[in-house]
Amino acid sequence: MLAALAMALAAMGGRASAAAGKDERWYAVMLQGERAGWMHEKQDATAEGNLRLRSEMRLSVGRGGMSISVEMLTESVETPKGAMVSMRSEQRLAAAPVVTTYRFTEEGVEVTEEQEGRSITRTAPLPKGEWLAPIAAERYVEERVRAGAAEVAYSSIDASGGLEPIAVKRTRKGGPEPVEVLGKVVPATPWAVTQAMYPGVESVDYLADDGSLVRGEVRLGAIALTVLAADRETATAPAKAPEMMVSTFVHPSRAIARPRETGRAVYIVSMTEGELPDLPSGGAQRVERLDARSARVIVDAARAPAAPEREASDRVFREPSVMLDSADPAVRALAPPDDDAGGKPAQAERIRRGVRRHITAKTLDVGFATASEVARTKQGDCTEHAVLLAAALRSAGIPSRVASGVIYVDQFAGGREVFGFHMWTQALLDGPDGRPRWVDLDATLPDATPFDAAHIAMVLSALPAEERMNSLAALAPMLGRLAIEVVETE
């Protein structure tokens, strides 16, 4: 949820126009009508004469009585002609920020991820297709708006989203209308905005005559996110973090008896509003699409089909990243060598149990820490268990990824008999037939329960640099809009 909100806010920041010489802008951020943070954008020139756009934001939400903050800073540098020079993002979802730097050359992009002195550098190909640098994209939109265009379409990149160009389309919804912004009424023209990162999600930007953003609105599932133009003092005024987690609980059609002992289950997952995004088949889960708004999900904890060959050979599930730093000594210490007693499957289970014991402070006040940080702090919730287990598995030579979705619980944070959003791990292990398969492992569960069928996966990710936030943002349309029918359980 935090990732989805942060990415949506970053996208709104990229649409805050720098027209009419306004090189600095402040915005108040609202969640469900309550103050939740602020956003700041500034455009200036570098000593070399290039153009720099800097965006900073802070968002706080409540989780079961705890307050969690997300801080994100992005910076892009481009030439006056719109050629990318560099990008930088700093994301703080836990105690230590993760800094990613992109340096553009004719041969490719040098990508460096850093956290607490540890860094990983690699070379990535240049973004494919036609796309615009951030400031060049703003200028293009301004030119088209001044020319009277009713629709503007383009693709751009941003440090918060990595190197994958994001297609954006703006459509004028009418003429100027009065818009209330923090007690003031100003004339602004509404524009509907869609972007590829959030399929099926439409936001609305209200632009002043000079093209600057005065109000932005988007609904991520049932959660309303709004940004309002403000001065610095108003934008950064203290605000109480609105409670968000409880509003995302899903009340199923009926309770599940003994969920931690459920080995097989069949569900109908649907959307109360809008289309259901494609749910993944993999590991214990198989998905059958019923119609645009629903799918049948079969979860069998004892059976998993062979993994596709492309996944079995993909290095992305083996290599370290800052999020899953499998080369870190503190992480490697949690990956005991294979003693041949039961082979890799038994080794993976020993690692799962070790991670569960290692995280001694089971707490909700951590946002989304990296594996290295969790290995040292020994605290966190399901996301910290999932990333630490995934990284430790890779340290042992076992390919891994994380699964984000929901888990059924009898009672949690004031909710009873609900599905709550959750994260766990999948390990690529050889099956009885020698073919690799994805095996689900949940490090939050007791020793006797590696996994159960009261889990429904909605996103699978290796959490590399470019996907760390983007893949989780795919949950956005489902927040507060999911319905789950429990068809059968065994």
State the DSSP code for 465. Answer: T
Mean pLDDT throughout 294-308? 94
- Give the up-direction half-sphere exposure of residue 121: CA atoms within 13 A in the CB hemisphere: 7
120, 50 in Cβ contact below 8 A? no
- Long-range Cβ pairs for the range 358-363 (8 Å, 24+): 358/334, 358/388, 359/384, 359/385, 359/388, 359/443, 362/444, 363/66
Q: What residues does 438 pair with on adjacent strands?
A: 428
- pLDDT higher for 28 or 197? 28
Sign of the torsion angle spanned by Cα atoms 426, 430, 432, 435 = positive
**Residue 173: alpha-carbon gap to chain centroid:** 29
pLDDT, residue 21, reads 44
Mean pLDDT throughout 197-218? 83
Rounded CA-CA distance 241/20 in Å is 34
In degrees, rounded to 5, the angle at the alpha carbon of residue 191 between the alpha carbons of residues 189 and 197 is 155
Give pLDDT tens digits for 123-167.
Answer: 999 999 999 999 999 889 888 888 889 999 999 998 887 888 989
Q: 249-489 has which fold?
A: C8orf32 fold (3.10.620)
Sign of the torsion angle spanned by Cα atoms 37, 481, 296, 453 = positive
pLDDT, residue 144, reads 87
pLDDT, residue 469, reads 62
Q: Please choose, from the candidates 419, 453, 484, 483, the residue with its C-alpha nearest in 3D space to the C-alpha of residue 259.
A: 453
Mean pLDDT throughout 170-174? 91
- Provide Rg for the chain, Cα atoms: 23
Coil, helix or strand at residue 70: strand
Alpha-helical runs (H) found in 168-306:
232-235
Give pLDDT tens digits for 339-379.
Answer: 766 788 999 999 999 999 999 977 766 667 889 989 999 98
At residue 65, does pLDDT exceed 50?
Answer: yes
Instruction: Return the minimum-mean-pLDDT range out of 9-23, 201-215, 265-279, 286-300.
Output: 9-23
At residue 45, does pLDDT exceed 60?
Answer: yes
Q: How confident is the model at residue 95 (pLDDT cuts 50, 70, 90)?
A: low
Mean pLDDT, the chain, rounded, equals: 87
pLDDT, residue 14, reads 54
pLDDT, residue 19, reads 43
Mean pLDDT throughout 399-418? 90
Rounded CA-CA distance 268/374 in Å is 35
**Residue 17: alpha-carbon gap to chain centroid:** 25
User: What is the pTM for the complete model shown?
Assistant: 0.82
Rounded CA-CA distance 72/59 in Å is 9
Rounded CA-CA distance 21/254 in Å is 58
**Domain boundaries, given as residue ranges, for the chain:** 2-235, 249-489
Q: Judging by beta carbons within 10 Å of its beta carbon (0-12, 13-18, 19+), is residue 365 exposed, middle or buried?
A: middle
At residue 289, does pLDDT exceed 50?
Answer: yes
79, 85 in Cβ contact below 8 A? yes
pLDDT, residue 458, reads 94
At residue 18, does pLDDT exceed 60?
Answer: no
Residue 328 CA: distances (Å) to CA of 206, 251, 337, 387, 465: 47, 40, 16, 13, 17
At residue 440, does pLDDT exceed 90?
Answer: yes
At residue 20, does pLDDT exceed 60?
Answer: no
Coil, helix or strand at residue 1: coil
